[in-house]
Amino acid sequence: MAKSPPSSPKATSLLIDEDFSEEGNMDMLIASDKVLQGLNDTRSELLNRVESLKQDLQHWRGKLDTEVNSYNEEIGDLKDSLNSDVEQLKNDTSVVDCAQFLEGLNVNCDIEKTLFDDLIADLGLQDKMDSADESEAQFDYFSSDAPVTSVTIEEILE
Protein backbone atom coordinates (compact mmCIF):
# COMPACT_ATOMS: atom_id res chain seq x y z
CA MET A 1 0.00 0.00 0.00
CA ALA A 2 1.30 3.38 -1.00
CA LYS A 3 1.88 6.04 1.55
CA SER A 4 -0.15 9.12 1.31
CA PRO A 5 1.70 12.39 0.75
CA PRO A 6 2.50 14.22 3.97
CA SER A 7 0.30 17.07 4.85
CA SER A 8 2.84 19.12 6.80
CA PRO A 9 6.64 19.55 6.81
CA LYS A 10 6.82 18.10 10.28
CA ALA A 11 5.08 14.95 9.16
CA THR A 12 7.42 14.76 6.17
CA SER A 13 10.52 14.82 8.39
CA LEU A 14 9.05 12.09 10.60
CA LEU A 15 8.45 9.89 7.59
CA ILE A 16 12.00 10.48 6.34
CA ASP A 17 13.40 9.75 9.81
CA GLU A 18 11.27 6.63 9.97
CA ASP A 19 12.48 5.43 6.56
CA PHE A 20 16.07 6.30 7.44
CA SER A 21 15.83 4.57 10.79
CA GLU A 22 14.44 1.43 9.15
CA GLU A 23 17.35 1.47 6.69
CA GLY A 24 19.79 2.18 9.58
CA ASN A 25 18.33 -0.65 11.59
CA MET A 26 18.75 -2.94 8.60
CA ASP A 27 22.34 -1.83 8.11
CA MET A 28 22.99 -2.29 11.82
CA LEU A 29 21.40 -5.73 11.76
CA ILE A 30 23.50 -6.73 8.75
CA ALA A 31 26.64 -5.32 10.39
CA SER A 32 25.89 -7.03 13.70
CA ASP A 33 25.22 -10.31 11.85
CA LYS A 34 28.59 -9.98 10.12
CA VAL A 35 30.32 -9.23 13.44
CA LEU A 36 28.50 -12.13 15.08
CA GLN A 37 29.47 -14.45 12.23
CA GLY A 38 33.08 -13.27 12.48
CA LEU A 39 33.07 -13.86 16.23
CA ASN A 40 31.58 -17.34 15.75
CA ASP A 41 34.24 -18.15 13.14
CA THR A 42 36.99 -16.89 15.44
CA ARG A 43 35.50 -18.87 18.32
CA SER A 44 35.45 -22.03 16.20
CA GLU A 45 39.06 -21.48 15.13
CA LEU A 46 40.10 -20.91 18.75
CA LEU A 47 38.26 -24.03 19.91
CA ASN A 48 39.93 -26.07 17.16
CA ARG A 49 43.31 -24.64 18.12
CA VAL A 50 42.73 -25.37 21.82
CA GLU A 51 41.71 -28.94 20.95
CA SER A 52 44.82 -29.33 18.81
CA LEU A 53 46.99 -27.98 21.64
CA LYS A 54 45.34 -30.42 24.08
CA GLN A 55 46.14 -33.32 21.77
CA ASP A 56 49.72 -32.09 21.33
CA LEU A 57 50.07 -31.80 25.11
CA GLN A 58 48.72 -35.34 25.65
CA HIS A 59 51.09 -36.67 22.99
CA TRP A 60 54.00 -34.79 24.58
CA ARG A 61 53.10 -36.08 28.06
CA GLY A 62 52.94 -39.64 26.74
CA LYS A 63 56.40 -39.29 25.18
CA LEU A 64 57.71 -37.70 28.38
CA ASP A 65 56.26 -40.51 30.53
CA THR A 66 57.88 -43.07 28.23
CA GLU A 67 61.25 -41.32 28.49
CA VAL A 68 60.96 -41.00 32.29
CA ASN A 69 60.16 -44.72 32.59
CA SER A 70 63.07 -45.54 30.31
CA TYR A 71 65.43 -43.39 32.38
CA ASN A 72 64.12 -44.89 35.62
CA GLU A 73 64.79 -48.39 34.28
CA GLU A 74 68.26 -47.35 33.15
CA ILE A 75 68.98 -45.77 36.55
CA GLY A 76 67.74 -48.95 38.27
CA ASP A 77 70.05 -51.06 36.10
CA LEU A 78 72.97 -48.74 36.82
CA LYS A 79 72.18 -48.85 40.54
CA ASP A 80 72.11 -52.66 40.50
CA SER A 81 75.36 -52.75 38.55
CA LEU A 82 76.98 -50.29 40.94
CA ASN A 83 75.82 -52.28 43.98
CA SER A 84 77.21 -55.43 42.39
CA ASP A 85 80.53 -53.70 41.72
CA VAL A 86 80.64 -52.39 45.30
CA GLU A 87 79.99 -55.88 46.67
CA GLN A 88 82.70 -57.29 44.40
CA LEU A 89 85.13 -54.62 45.61
CA LYS A 90 84.22 -55.40 49.21
CA ASN A 91 84.87 -59.09 48.60
CA ASP A 92 88.13 -58.32 46.79
CA THR A 93 89.17 -56.03 49.64
CA SER A 94 88.31 -58.73 52.15
CA VAL A 95 90.40 -61.24 50.21
CA VAL A 96 93.29 -58.77 49.98
CA ASP A 97 92.94 -57.92 53.67
CA CYS A 98 92.87 -61.62 54.54
CA ALA A 99 95.89 -62.31 52.32
CA GLN A 100 97.76 -59.39 53.87
CA PHE A 101 96.84 -60.62 57.34
CA LEU A 102 98.04 -64.13 56.53
CA GLU A 103 101.21 -62.74 55.00
CA GLY A 104 101.75 -60.69 58.14
CA LEU A 105 101.19 -63.78 60.27
CA ASN A 106 103.66 -65.70 58.13
CA VAL A 107 106.25 -62.94 58.52
CA ASN A 108 105.59 -62.80 62.26
CA CYS A 109 105.90 -66.58 62.48
CA ASP A 110 109.19 -66.46 60.57
CA ILE A 111 110.49 -63.76 62.91
CA GLU A 112 109.33 -65.69 65.96
CA LYS A 113 110.93 -68.88 64.62
CA THR A 114 114.19 -67.05 63.97
CA LEU A 115 114.13 -65.51 67.43
CA PHE A 116 113.31 -68.87 68.97
CA ASP A 117 116.05 -70.63 67.04
CA ASP A 118 118.50 -67.95 68.17
CA LEU A 119 117.33 -68.43 71.72
CA ILE A 120 117.85 -72.18 71.49
CA ALA A 121 121.31 -71.61 70.07
CA ASP A 122 122.10 -69.18 72.87
CA LEU A 123 120.97 -71.70 75.46
CA GLY A 124 123.16 -74.38 73.96
CA LEU A 125 120.32 -76.63 72.89
CA GLN A 126 121.21 -76.33 69.23
CA ASP A 127 124.22 -78.61 69.63
CA LYS A 128 122.02 -81.38 70.94
CA MET A 129 119.64 -81.04 67.99
CA ASP A 130 122.46 -80.95 65.41
CA SER A 131 124.06 -84.09 66.79
CA ALA A 132 120.82 -86.04 66.94
CA ASP A 133 119.58 -88.15 64.06
CA GLU A 134 117.26 -86.39 61.59
CA SER A 135 114.36 -88.63 62.54
CA GLU A 136 114.87 -87.78 66.18
CA ALA A 137 115.61 -84.11 65.56
CA GLN A 138 112.15 -82.98 66.44
CA PHE A 139 112.35 -80.74 69.44
CA ASP A 140 109.26 -80.40 71.57
CA TYR A 141 109.07 -76.71 72.33
CA PHE A 142 106.16 -77.23 74.67
CA SER A 143 107.67 -80.09 76.63
CA SER A 144 107.70 -79.68 80.38
CA ASP A 145 111.21 -81.16 80.42
CA ALA A 146 112.66 -78.17 78.55
CA PRO A 147 114.42 -75.66 80.74
CA VAL A 148 112.46 -72.47 81.22
CA THR A 149 114.43 -69.28 80.98
CA SER A 150 113.09 -65.78 80.99
CA VAL A 151 114.56 -63.63 78.23
CA THR A 152 113.44 -60.21 76.97
CA ILE A 153 113.41 -59.25 73.33
CA GLU A 154 116.08 -56.62 73.99
CA GLU A 155 118.39 -59.31 75.29
CA ILE A 156 117.77 -61.41 72.22
CA LEU A 157 118.42 -58.55 69.83
CA GLU A 158 121.75 -57.63 71.49
Full-prediction pTM beyond 0.75? no
> Across all residues in the chain, what is the average pLDDT?
76
Which amino acid does the sequence have at 80? D
Residue 134, pLDDT > 50, answer no
Supply the pLDDT for residue 120.
Answer: 80
In a domain, 6, yes or no: no
The pLDDT score that the predictor gives to residue 55 is 96
Q: Does a structural domain hold residue 63?
A: yes
Interatomic CA distance for residues 105 and 99, integer angstroms: 10
Q: Which pLDDT score is estimated for 51?
A: 96
Mean of the pLDDT values across residues 80-94? 86
Number of folded domains in the chain?
1
Is the pLDDT at 18 greater than 80? The verdict is no
Q: How far from 141 is each of 57, 102, 147, CA to CA, in Å? A: 88, 23, 10
85: containing domain:
13-157
Q: 18 lies in a domain?
A: yes
In a domain, 8, yes or no: no
Give a yes or no: residue 109 inside a domain: yes
Summarize the confidence of residues 58-83 as an average pLDDT: 94
pLDDT at residue number 60: 96
Over residues 20-55, the pLDDT tens digits come to 566 767 777 888 888 889 999 999 999 999 999 999
Q: Does 113 fall in a domain?
A: yes
Q: What is the CA radius of gyration of the chain?
A: 57
Q: Is 3 inside any structural domain?
A: no
d(CA 119, CA 150): 11
Q: Are 156 and 115 a contacting pair, CB within 8 Å?
A: yes
- Give yes or no for residue 76 having a pLDDT over 80: yes
Task: Confirm whether 140 is domain-assigned.
Answer: yes
d(CA 81, CA 90): 14
What one-character DSSP code corresponds to residue 155? H
pLDDT of 104 reads: 77
Q: Which residue has the higher pLDDT, 133 or 7?
A: 7
